[in-house]
Homo-oligomer: A and B are copies of this chain.
Amino acid sequence: MLAEILPIASAGVAFLTSLGLGLWLRRLSPGGPEVRRISEAVREGALAFLKKEVSIILPLAVIILALVALFISPYSALAFAVGGGLSILAGVISMLTCVSAAPRAAVATGRGLGATLLASFRGGAVAGMVITSMALFAVSALYILIRDAVLIAGAGFGASLVALFIRAGGGIYTKAADLGADLVGKLEAGIPEDDPRNPATIADNVGDNVGDAAGMGSDIYESYVVTLLASMLLGSIHGSPDLVLLPLLVGGTGLLATVLGVLSVTGRDPENPMAPLNRSFYVSAGLGIVLGSAASILVLGPGSLGIAAVISIILGTVLVPIIQRVTDYYTSYNYPPVKAITEATRVGHSANILEGISQGLKSTLPMALAIAATIIVTYFAGLSLTGDSLFGVYCTALATMAMLSLSGIVLSIDSFGPVSDNAGGIVEMSGMGEENRRLTDKLDAVGNTAKATTKGFAIASAALAAIAMIQAFQKEAEAVYGSLDYSLSNPLVVVGLLVGALLPFYVSSRLIAAVSSTASKIVEEVRRQFREIKGIMDGSAKPDYGRCVGIATSGAIRELIPPAAIVALTPVLVGVLLGPAAVAGVLTGGVLSGLYLAYHMANSGAAWDNAKKYLEVLGKKKTPEHAVAVSGDLVGDPYKDTAGPSLNTVIKVLNTVSIVFVSAFIGLIL
């Protein structure tokens, strides 16, 4: 029982720390009336979007809740409500923190780089720690209350359904607004980014918050919950309460390590703004390994079980910087891939596009090898030390949990990105000086690196979370239906794999099309305002920002519903018609193509973006190459910020919906 208190206590410590940082942040100056007017407009737009999303999700959630309560179990329904509710909260908190930290970081530009960095980072850290502590607290509390890992799996379903809506909806919103603002503002009217004369500029800033901040927050919250549940489920199938407890403990120790990592960042002016962020990560990772290993030995003893657990925790932790380095290599302009893309802009549009696609596709190799190696080593560590293959599978899940126990610090560093990006927008819109903009630009560049590498982390952890969940699903289905044929010789499994592997391709297609169609509506509206509201260009009249916000909101939500429904219903339909073995195929197929498609899209997109930035750094802003790079970046936008990251939530929804509805998978046509 004492050990069960630890995760809740860690969650409490992290929550109180973020509360403290939040109060520290609130005491910073929120800027003059101009700054406050802008950030108020952004906050309103962002909340309007989330409210509209909730109004769509709520009736749907109530229906699912009723179905689950009636046909599965009231405990599952409770877990679903808690998981989903906290997922919304995770999104709202990420977003609100980001919105309120941005103007404070903008004002802090007056006090130098260190102060700006600290304000941005602590803004990110509040979101990062609140989200992970909430996830850990919820699952721990549900576990103490219900004592059945299967029944609380509903929390994963609730979390992932909401995350899909926020991630994909936010992704459509942010890129449609961005594209709409850029196409008319930058390319047609020739005014700079974030210029207050652009009617879509508030929508663009809202988009940064609902897409980058809320989306990433609920995505990682969901991976965290899913992984925690999957490893607890595997532990419970194994029949050992210790194995159910350990993932919670690893979550708790990781959270404590995160608190110390966050506090290691100070307001001193750094040489390189990346350095304090990196240090904070390594502090957390190192402490996470030490504390997590201690917890493993304490719970499982110093014998072979404990050693296998320690090996898994080390591997899972080490995987984080490996994935981040690989992602950085393929997306930062300090390395050959982005340089090759920059070079290709000289040849023309098609060469730029092909080079970006080729580099993004190529980046899947090292990532795949790292993930495959982690699975093999952890599985064999568990298997060979104990002779028990189920414990081997558990060890892989534990490694994934160790990876995700660092979500707090990873999210802190990531949320730093949208905060500094928005701060830059506020500096520009409120007409602060050149020097202030230079500072936020510097931090924005760091933020872009952090955003790209966090996407790598989110994709890899989503895939590993799904792999753990698929194992849990198979055991659960066998608990319901007896022994099942999950083998590749079973044509039903093959059909399931084909259907599952299709979904990421199809969903990507829908989401990319959604960005284009919503963006073109915004383009029309911006053109209309430039045409009809006289005086926008000379600053004598204000554009109607609200119209653009409204168009982006309703466009994003309308376009999102069909693919979301397809994702949630496919495993249920396959299960009801073809049975659980085919569903296991769907889940596995979804991870296989989703993982690589997401990583390719995220990296190709980030690489095009940075090729454009590299040309700007080289002072080639008004050249034909730069025009080519801008159009590459526009291709990359829905890749990296809409389709790519949404696939994370797609592969997790598939899993959680399947595990909740497993008892309905009767295979009608068999």
Contact = CB atoms under 8 A, between A and B. Distances in A.
Contact of A498 (B355, B372, B474, B578): B372
Q: Rank and list the top 9 A-B pairs by shortest CB-CB distance, nearest first.
A: A361-B509, A350-B634, A486-B487, A362-B509, A501-B592, A349-B631, A368-B502, A379-B491, A358-B512
A376 B488 contact: no
Interface in A350-375: 350-351, 353-355, 357-362, 364-365, 368, 371-372, 375
Contact of A494 (B344, B491, B501, B588): B588
Interface string A465-485: 001001100110000000001
Contacts of A344: 516
A592 B634 CA distance: 29
27 contacts: A183-B348, A347-B520, A348-B634, A350-B631, A351-B516, A353-B353, A353-B635, A354-B638, A355-B513, A358-B508, A358-B510, A360-B509, A361-B512, A362-B506, A364-B506, A365-B506, A368-B499, A376-B578, A379-B491, A379-B492, A392-B491, A393-B491, A474-B489, A475-B489, A486-B487, A487-B487, A488-B584
B376 A495 contact: yes
A508 B375 contact: no
A569 to B, nearest CB: 14
Contact of A375 (B360, B361, B494): B494
A459 to B, nearest CB: 13
A589 interface: yes
Contacts of A471: 489
A358 B491 CA distance: 30
A376 B491 contact: yes
Contact of A359 (B396, B509, B596): B509
Contacts of A554: none
A122 interface: no
Interface string A379-414: 110000000000011001000000000000000000
Given A502-B365, A509-B358, A596-B502, A491 B375 contact: yes
A487 B490 CA distance: 9
Contacts of A486: 487-489
A593 interface: yes
Nearest to A392: B491
A505 interface: yes
A522 interface: no
Contact of A470 (B364, B488, B492, B631): B488
A505 B631 contact: no
Q: How many copies does the complex hold?
A: 2
A485 B483 CA distance: 14
B358 A513 contact: yes
Contacts of A638: 354
Nearest to A497: B592
A595 B589 CA distance: 12
A600 interface: yes
Interface centre among A360, A380, A584, A596 (most CB of B within 10 A): A596
Contacts of A396: 491
Contacts of A635: 349-350, 353-354
Given A488-B470, A491-B393, A588 B497 contact: yes
A565 to B, nearest CB: 14
A214 interface: no
Interface in A567-587: 578, 584-585
Interface in A490-533: 491-495, 497-499, 501-502, 505-506, 508-510, 512-513, 515-516, 520
A364 to B, nearest CB: 5
A376 to B, nearest CB: 6
A172 to B, nearest CB: 13
A514 to B, nearest CB: 9
Contacts of A379: 491-492
A488 B516 contact: no
Contacts of A509: 357-362, 364
Contact of A488 (B348, B474, B515, B520): B474
A45 to B, nearest CB: 25
A36 to B, nearest CB: 35
Contacts of A516: 344, 351, 354-355, 358
A359 B439 CA distance: 42
Interface in A19-73: none
A372 B499 CA distance: 8
Contacts of A365: 502, 506
Contacts of A376: 491-492, 495, 578
A631 B345 CA distance: 13
Contacts of A593: 501, 592-593, 596
Interface in A248-305: none
